[in-house]
Structures are given as C-alpha cells and as structure tokens.
C-alpha cells in the first residue's frame, strides 16, 4: 500500500486535484489517498468545493505527493513559509506530481532547477518567468524528469496520472483504469494540442 498525499490550499483548481485522485482511487488497494493543507482544516477550491484536510505536519514522509494548481498559487509562489514546508514534503516524497500551475509553486522551491518541466499553457509566460533555471518544455501534455512529473493545464493531470500509473504499475493497469472510468486517455505525453496557445 502506497500513500498518495494531496496538497490542497484555498483557491485550488478542483479538477487539478480530483482528476488524478479519481485515477488513484480507482486502482483500489494500491494507493491510500490523504488530503493535506499547511494548517489543516477546511480549504475551498475555486469552484467552492470545501474539503476537510489534515495539517502538513501529520503527513508520513514517504509516498507520492500531488500538487494541484489554481488561482491560489498566485499568492503561494510568494509565501516563504508555505514554500519552505512544501520543499520539505517534496524532498521526503518518493515521487512528486504537479498539475497545471502546481509546477509554478514547486519551481519556487528550487527543486525543479535544471530539470525539464511543463505547466498550464494559458499561464505559461507567468510560470516560466518565476524561475528561468527550470528547463521549461512548451509542448508537452506532461513531462517526466526523474521522480518529478509535471503536467499541462487542468485536464492534462488525468493523462499524466495515468502515465505515472503506467510507469509504476504497468501499461495494462493504466489502460484498465481509464476504461473503468470511461476515460479516453490521451496517452502520448508529446501530443499537446494546447501548446499553440502560448503567447
């Protein structure tokens, strides 16, 4: 049993988190999913979904870390306390997955420096301006560099999560999971129809 530890914060983007957790949750006994925010308690997504969380301090120092994006990241990239704690969690995790502007926050910890990564294509200029030491990839549904998986915007997180499952548990498991949730998996990380929207 592996842990999937989901990092939440006010104004997270609902599907950034909920797409991947649907996929990890459908795997059944392989992953135990837990929800965290810096101080615990209720956090609200941009879509007004109010979710109960545990504090970062109670997270087991292992497992897979999932960092969604959303409008909340605009302030988090300037929050030294949050970034410091996130860096600790990311260093402790076996693998780190970001969706959308989740990679902007992770980039501000320095952990993506000299690594290949991607992000939301509609916010690409903003994200890449935050830390030019990251090797930002403009055309990718998702990017893998070592134990860091970063995806493009919102829905791309589901494709990346399935790609991660494929890498860790095998292609057949990923394919069956997509089938079980009647999802048409865009399984080639290099096919990115939204890359052309970067200004």
Contact track, a second copy, 16-45, x by CB under 8 A: --xx-xx-xx-------xxx------x--x
- The C-alpha atoms of residue 172 and residue 3 are separated, in whole angstroms, by 21
Please state the closest distance from residue 110 (CB atom) to a second copy, in A: 27
Number of helices (H) and strands (E) in the chain: give both, helices first: 7, 10
Of residues 116-145, those binding a second copy (CB under 8 A): 120-122
97: three-class secondary structure by DSSP: strand
Is residue 49 a contact point for a second copy (CB under 8 A)?
yes
Strand pairing class (142-145; 148-151):
antiparallel
Q: How many CB atoms lie within 10 A of CB 116?
A: 16
Is residue 101 a contact point for a second copy (CB under 8 A)?
no
Give the residues across from 54 on adjacent strands.
36
- The C-alpha atoms of residue 34 and residue 21 are separated, in whole angstroms, by 10
Is residue 196 a contact point for a second copy (CB under 8 A)?
no
Please state the closest distance from residue 102 (CB atom) to a second copy, in A: 14
Interacting residues with a second copy (CB under 8 A): 13-15, 18-19, 21-22, 24-25, 33-35, 42, 45-52, 120-122, 152-156, 179-184, 186, 193-194, 197
């Amino acid at each position: 049993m592996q842990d999937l530890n989901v990092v939440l914060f006010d104004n997270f983007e609902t599907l950034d988190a909920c797409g991947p957790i649907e996929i990890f949750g459908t795997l059944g006994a392989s992953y135990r999913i837990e929800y965290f925010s810096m101080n615990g308690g209720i956090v609200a997504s941009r879509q007004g979904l109010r979710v109960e969380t545990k504090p970062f301090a109670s997270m087991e120092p292992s497992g897979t870390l999932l960092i969604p994006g959303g409008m909340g990241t605009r302030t988090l990239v300037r929050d030294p306390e949050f970034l410091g704690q996130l860096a600790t969690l990311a260093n402790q995790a076996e693998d780190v997955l970001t969706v959308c502007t989740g990679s902007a926050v992770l980039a501000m910890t320095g952990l993506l420096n000299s690594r290949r990564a991607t992000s939301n294509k509609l916010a690409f200029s903003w994200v890449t301006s935050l830390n030019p030491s990251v090797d930002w990839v403009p055309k990718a549904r998702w990017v893998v560099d070592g134990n860091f998986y970063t995806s493009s915007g919102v829905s791309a997180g589901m494709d990346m999560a399935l790609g991660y499952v494929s890498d860790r548990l095998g292609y057949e498991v990923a394919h069956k999971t997509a089938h079980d949730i009647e999802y048409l998996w865009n399984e080639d990380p290099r096919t990115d129809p939204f890359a052309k929207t970067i200004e």
